[in-house]
Homo-oligomer: A and B are copies of this chain.
């Protein structure tokens, strides 16, 4: 089974650890390896390295070549980010060229999954469900009334037969308000949309042809130039002209294909903020609920996340619910509950022209 991993994000939520040149998927924030490496390792039971396609910003290709030195994993660089639909189209093109005729998995590079076996089992089930030309998606069992994600609503009854529970998708729904989110969670028919799809490249490309014809035309130009001397120029020109569009909005909400959702309780997190990283690493909390990375000394501190990676001692006294991130060039101190607003800090630095710290 092929896997197309989208590693194009350039978020600022983990600033100052993530920077313009080093986005989240290339950081070792949940374990020993960068998220993108953990994502590939997690797929080992279903995809050989040579069946893994990584789509990323071309500026990150050198780093990716270091991380995957045996050259088996396929790397594709996008000259500029245009959201997920072009990245998925590009990955589907490459997978088809490499001989993938059955369903492939399309998934983000920067998620955390506590239980990889459950995750892989769900992908296998999704492969099975998508074998006859439909699109299957993983539905993450919601564990809180999250307003930051889109939801997938399933049919009441599961499909009969098969190796596991598969539902038809009734609806993809936008990020809800808190009240609606609470209703979704208690209803039991809603899942978080983690942006993980399984479908054959042929299906993907056909849907792009129907619903995103400009993107399809661009992909045709790319295929014509593939591995030729003009490819770099063609991909630059093509991408420059593309409208950014997400696969969810551009395809999933419009397609007439059969859509399936596989319920998946795999301890998933999109590691969307310092706060969510703090929460998912609860196994590493000390007795005062502090999370300590590196040379940090908490004195009378509680529920604080101290990340010392700047080669300095980080000493803390009397803190509650505080985030301290020390890096060689920047130290960030924030209310941990305000972790979502780190983009405000980054935006302000951008407005000040402080490029060196972005």
A residues with a Cβ closer than 8 A to B are: 16, 297, 299-300, 310, 312-319, 322, 324, 326, 328-335, 337-338, 341-342, 344-345, 348-349, 352, 354, 357
Contacts and interface: CB of A to CB of B under 8 A. Distances in A.
Given A345-B297, A345-B299, A348-B297, A335 B318 contact: yes
A348 B312 contact: no
Contact of A300 (B310, B314, B338): B338
Contacts of A341: 299-300, 317-318
Contacts of A332: 315-317
17 contacts: A16-B315, A297-B345, A297-B352, A299-B348, A312-B331, A313-B330, A314-B331, A314-B333, A315-B332, A316-B334, A317-B341, A317-B342, A318-B337, A319-B333, A322-B322, A324-B333, A331-B331
A352 B349 CA distance: 38
B345 A333 contact: no
A345 B318 CA distance: 10
Contacts of A312: 310, 328-331
Contacts of A328: 312
A344 B300 CA distance: 10
* Chain copies in the assembled complex: 2
Contacts of A315: 16, 330-333, 345, 349, 357
A227 to B, nearest CB: 44
B297 A349 contact: yes
Nearest to A337: B318
A16 B331 CA distance: 15
B313 A324 contact: no
Contacts of A299: 341, 344-345, 348
Contacts of A326: 331
A312 B312 CA distance: 12
Given A297-B345, A297-B348, A317-B344, 20 more contacts: A16-B315, A299-B344, A299-B345, A299-B348, A300-B344, A313-B330, A313-B354, A315-B333, A315-B357, A317-B333, A317-B334, A317-B335, A317-B342, A318-B334, A319-B333, A319-B335, A322-B322, A322-B333, A324-B331, A333-B333
A297 B332 CA distance: 10
A297 B152 CA distance: 41
A295 to B, nearest CB: 9
Given A300-B338, A318-B334, A319-B335, A313 B345 contact: no
Nearest to A338: B318
A314 B352 CA distance: 15
A346 to B, nearest CB: 9
Contact of A316 (B318, B333, B349): B333
